[in-house]
């Protein structure tokens, strides 16, 4: 039974449609827990504190992809609903390219200003060095992280929420 966004949803159909997204969020949270477990047990307490200290900055930067995905999927859906699939494809491409470019720009700017930002937030000494090291390593993947957030919204718009789960698990 294929579920479409234009269908009438009762509780059972709604849960069936949203279940992959809920499981995806659990897997995403587990990645953070596992990361914290290994850092704290094999690297030390100060690096673990540094990871937790700098992670909100990286999540805020990644949320730009979520913003592009939410707005983009709404605009693409509306355009598809208006019977303009070619225009919708062009809009989709525009959002993907824009997110990739913004991701690179944000990563470069953040890479340069990560140390002053972490110091401004209160990190000092070894913790500051660990914040910068961990943050810069993760900033290398920021464009891809943003695209993952964006595609989660587009998978739902394409009526394929299970694809978001597959991508997150892989």
Which residues have CB under 8 Å from 40's CB, separation 6+?
47, 48
Q: Whose CA is closest to 145, among 104, 111, 114, 117? A: 104
Distance CA 158, CA 62 (A): 22
Domain positions in the chain: 11-169
pLDDT score of 6:
61
Task: Give the predicted TM-score (pTM) of the model.
Answer: 0.81
Q: Which of 1-5, 15-19, 89-93 has the lowest mean pLDDT?
A: 1-5
Residue 143: per-residue pLDDT = 96
Q: What is the pLDDT of residues 30-45, one digit of tens each?
A: 877 887 888 888 888 8
Confidence bin at 19 (pLDDT 50/70/90): confident
Say what the pLDDT of residue 5 is: 59
User: What are the tokens at 166?
Assistant: 């597959």
């Amino acid at each position: 039974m294929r579920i479409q966004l234009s269908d009438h949803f009762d509780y059972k159909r709604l849960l069936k449609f949203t279940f992959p997204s809920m499981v995806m969020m659990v897997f995403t949270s587990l990645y953070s827990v596992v990361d914290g477990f290994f850092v704290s047990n094999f690297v030390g307490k100060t690096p673990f504190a540094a990871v937790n200290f700098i992670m909100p900055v990286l999540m805020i930067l990644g949320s730009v992809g979520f913003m592009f995905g939410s707005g983009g999927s709404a605009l693409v859906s509306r355009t598809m609903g208006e019977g303009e699939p070619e225009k919708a494809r062009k809009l989709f491409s525009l959002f993907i390219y824009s997110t990739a470019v913004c991701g690179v720009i944000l990563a470069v700017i953040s890479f340069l200003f990560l140390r002053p930002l972490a110091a401004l937030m209160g990190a000092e000494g070894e913790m500051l060095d660990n914040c910068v090291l961990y943050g810069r390593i993760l900033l290398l993947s920021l464009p891809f992280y943003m695209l993952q957030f964006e595609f989660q919204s587009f998978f739902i718009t394409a009526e394929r929420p299970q694809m978001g789960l597959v991508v997150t698990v892989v």
